[in-house]
Amino acid sequence: MYNTKNFKQSEFACKCGCGFGLKDGDIDTGLIDIAQKIRDYVGVPVRVNSGCRCVSHNARVGGVKGSWHTKGKACDLSCEKGGKALFEAVKALWQKGEIPGLRYCIYYKKGNFVHIDVGNERRNLWEVRA
Ligand SMILES: [Zn+2]
Ligand SMILES: [Zn+2]
C-alpha cells in the first residue's frame, strides 16, 4: 500500500468494491504524489471522487473505453474550494515544475471537479468542459 501524508492508496480503489486499486502495482504511485502536491497547495481536504475503475465499473459510470482510470493512472478530485481552485492549483504546480508526470488535466465545470492523469503525453495538457 502506498500512502502519503493525506492520502491512502485505498481512497483510489475502485468504488464498486472489486478491490482494484488495493494491491501494489494497481495504481501509478506518481498519481498519488500529484494528488498530495495538489492537496498541499490548496490547503484543504481533497476528495478522490473516482480513482481506479475496473472495466465494468468504468462502463457503468460512463467512462470512455480504455480510460486511464482502468489502468490506475487517473483520478477525479474535488474540494470545498471548488474544481476551479483545483484546476488553478494544478496549473501553478505544473508551471513550477513540481508535477512533471502530469499528462492531462480536465476541469469539469458542472461537476465541479478535476480529472488528472499520468497516461500518454498529449498535445493539449489542459481542457475545460461544461
Ligand atoms: Zn471495480
Ligand atoms: Zn476522470
Distance CA(35)–CA(100), nearest Å, equals: 13
C-alpha cell at 66: 480504455
Give the count of domains, the chain. 1
Please state the length of the chain.
130
- Beta strand 46-50 with 74-79: parallel, antiparallel or unpaired? antiparallel
* Inside any domain, residue 41: yes
Closest to 87 measured CA to CA, from 74, 76, 100: 76
CATH of the domain at 23: 3.30.1380.10
* pLDDT tens per residue, range 12-29: 999 999 999 999 999 999
* pLDDT tens per residue, range 51-76: 999 999 999 999 999 999 999 999 99
* Inside any domain, residue 75: yes
* Inside any domain, residue 3: no
Distance 99 CA to ligand 1 centre (A): 28
- For the CA of 21, the nearest ligand: 1
C-alpha cell at 5: 501524508
Closest to 99 measured CA to CA, from 81, 117, 115: 117
Question: For residue 93, what are the domain limits?
Answer: 9-129
